[in-house]
Structure 1
């Protein structure tokens, strides 16, 4: 995580590089096929899906050849990308998780996607506005959304029935979660809930309350200088979370969402939070045992209008590659946004299509019939009002900040500090690191 604090050690590029409009894809000096290197962090079964998308593009034309290279976790990928900066060993296009966006911009090593969009007069309205919104800064789309998700509540309908709860009326507020979880625990059938200690969830709870996570318009009007994690939205959330644990309405299984999912699949807990991208796996793991219900991410009953922030990653163009290579990569990126390819991506990974027209594809309609729970995720995405809170925070030390927040949540849940004291300390530490980072950028 110290990568974000040592930005000054990166061999930065020379700022935004303007493309030569006369160059065309396939016009390599060798006169042959233009090669494009695509670095990504999609592991497991998703690697095969990425490889298939690349194969589909390569088969669709004969002037460009894309090679996808898996680089490990998001953090591994960032480390390898940083090591490649200032050399010719890096990728043409790189996938970067959403919380790496500030660093990518500050590194001066990227060509904003907006340059290709403007040159090609490409219609940005093809994209989901609430997805494109995260990656848009000062009216410019810096990167192309790729894998996108948000968190929802998963609940065991059978356990709800056994606890005397209506399985068709899931809880949607903090208060209703407490009531339902308490009823489940008292029934003796399972523990009411488990929420993994994941910093992403805290970020989402802020957005759901219409609250910003850092100052200066969530770091979007100008560089953030201060963490707001200890504001009312944070204290209210952590106090509620701790109360669930203290009253046995929920349990604490630590930071791993996999542990939370395993407990849910085993019928040990009635409710969990997880990414929409986990939906298919969660439903499959319950087959023959119980019916899975889904509901929007909860919020305090008295909170302002809010929504969810998109998670996942986007595609960034590296500016040290030749113009014609970048243009070739742009052709690949455009191909990935087409409804047919987005439908394939969505069905096989569980990530949202970034192109709304993908929902018109028969394959997507069939998939929604098979997994009706996904409609919750779609409705939650579309009902979110785009503002600085729901666009999401941006700061150069976000990965490290997320770890600090997780530590604060642990301290509160384990009775080492009060929610306020834990978040006050976290905010102070994060603010200090933000300010150190900003100095390296300046």
Structure 2
């Protein structure tokens, strides 16, 4: 509690003493452009309303951009038009580097009270937002998570297993036995490369190296070949839009999704949630590693200074332990600040069935997603290539070599 009190005191002093007052006759009105819809979008709007009612200096308006990609595209359109699309952007963790590299984001490290807040983030989130270690920070974490293994214990029990394997190298035999015993695929493998990143990192590999994709290196090829073998022998399937529904219906035994997906899975599973859903850590090859995902908050360049300060004031409020806890209880995202973790109320929340136990356990071994702006543009090509391999039986190595070669132009050469 002493550490929590010191953190709150430091943040409060920085906000009140270090930040210039927003002196105006009426509140500064700013726009937050966000990419989460559905239930999460409703929670964002409720959070904005709560903030607006808590003070009188700033009014935040929310604008939904349909998706994270929609936020990026609207931001790029605003840059092209010479008019920032919003005062505050919710940018997926792999998307903000593209705008930062173009010089279109404000360096948040220059704003009052920055150090007090930034030092309170978990180390992985500091690395995520300052990948070069140069002290320039163009985004700060907000809604962050990591992938976990959701499994159906009833299906695994039919095959003689209490839980899924910890290592990917054990999965092929495990998947074969589950398929034989249950008649359903053991796992759904995603073509979106978030889980792939974790598997490659855990095998001492990298997604990007030397100004190009590194998926043709042995560490990555071992991962892709392992997954491809399971898909081709029918013990695994390629994840699709119906995977979550198939999982809760018992049509696939395992799905790899965000720890923040738990409330949605629970809602779909209904009364069967307690008996049919369990959570385990993400599998690994040589060592446990998970990639962090989710989104950050960034302030564009080119907006008035009073809007910059107003947006920053809102960011500081969002990252107080109390507001983090309220957000976590609604969304099941992991806490981005250590002070939130120290709250007694948060520790109690971890003990509930909606708890974040697995996600929290994985934070010490978490790594940021690749921050190279070229990687963002390469993601769709990675997906298309993996789906071509898995759905059209294209040979792995030629397909991956072609992927690496055709995406090289997207990367800035060292």
TM-score between both structures, scaled by the size of structure 2: 0.88
1:324 corresponding residue in structure 2: 306
Report Cα offsets for 1:148-188 as digits up to 9, x if no partner.
Answer: 11111111111111211124xx3111122223211211113
Does 2:85 match 1:90?
yes
Q: Are residues 126 and 215 of structure 1, via their aligned partners in 2, closer, same or farther at CA, if it must alter by over 3 Å?
A: same
Which of 244, 248, 259 does residue 261 from structure 1 map onto? Answer: 244
Shifted more, 318-327 versus 286-295: the winner is 286-295
Does 2:120 match 1:126?
yes
Does 2:19 match 1:33?
no
SS at match of 1:110: coil
Q: Distance in 2 between matches of 1:71 and 1:368?
A: 32
1:277 corresponding residue in structure 2: 260
Aligned length: 393
Q: CA deviation at 1:91?
A: 1.3
Q: Are residues 180 and 309 of structure 1, via their aligned partners in 2, closer, same or farther at CA, if it must alter by over 3 Å?
A: same
1:101 corresponding residue in structure 2: 96
SS at match of 1:370: coil
Q: CA deviation at 1:22?
A: 10
List runs of 5+ in structure 2 lacking aligned partners.
1-16
List runs of 5+ in structure 1 lacking aligned partners.
1-20, 217-224, 385-389
Residue correspondence of structure 1 range 29-178 to structure 2 within 5 A: 31-85=25-79, 86-88=81-83, 90-116=85-111, 121-139=115-133, 140=135, 141-167=137-163, 170-178=164-172
1:13 corresponding residue in structure 2: none
2:228 corresponding residue in structure 1: 242
Q: Distance in 2 between matches of 1:373 and 1:34?
A: 37
Does 2:399 match 1:422?
yes
Q: CA deviation at 1:120?
A: 5.1
SS at match of 2:142: strand
Q: Distance in 1 between matches of 2:170 and 2:354?
A: 23
Q: Distance in 2 between matches of 1:284 and 1:111?
A: 39
Q: CA deviation at 1:405?
A: 1.0
| Root-mean-square deviation (Å) | 2.4
Q: Distance in 2 between matches of 1:424 and 1:213?
A: 14
Does 2:386 match 1:398?
no
Shifted more, 206-215 versus 338-347: the winner is 206-215
- Kindly indicate whether the alpha-carbon contact (under 8 Å) linking 2:33 and 2:64 is maintained by their aligned counterparts in 1: yes
- Kindly indicate whether the alpha-carbon contact (under 8 Å) linking 2:244 and 2:255 is maintained by their aligned counterparts in 1: yes
Q: CA deviation at 1:131?
A: 2.0
Q: CA deviation at 1:379?
A: 0.4
Residue correspondence of structure 1 range 291-306 to structure 2 within 5 A: 291-300=276-285, 303=286, 305=287
Q: CA deviation at 1:337?
A: 0.3
Q: CA deviation at 1:121?
A: 4.5
Does 2:337 match 1:355?
yes
- Kindly indicate whether the alpha-carbon contact (under 8 Å) linking 1:345 and 1:353 is maintained by their aligned counterparts in 2: no
SS at match of 2:116: coil
Which of 201, 205, 227 does residue 211 from structure 1 map onto? Answer: 205
SS at match of 2:381: helix
Q: Distance in 2 between matches of 1:373 and 1:235?
A: 35
1:10 corresponding residue in structure 2: none
- Kindly indicate whether the alpha-carbon contact (under 8 Å) linking 1:37 and 1:92 is maintained by their aligned counterparts in 2: yes
Q: Distance in 2 between matches of 1:360 and 1:45?
A: 27
Q: Are residues 198 and 90 of structure 1, via their aligned partners in 2, closer, same or farther at CA, if it must alter by over 3 Å?
A: closer
- Kindly indicate whether the alpha-carbon contact (under 8 Å) linking 1:99 and 1:399 is maintained by their aligned counterparts in 2: yes
Report Cα offsets for 1:77-136 as digits up to 9, x if no partner.
Answer: 21211121253452111111112122111221211111115x654242211211222111
Q: Distance in 2 between matches of 1:62 and 1:171?
A: 53
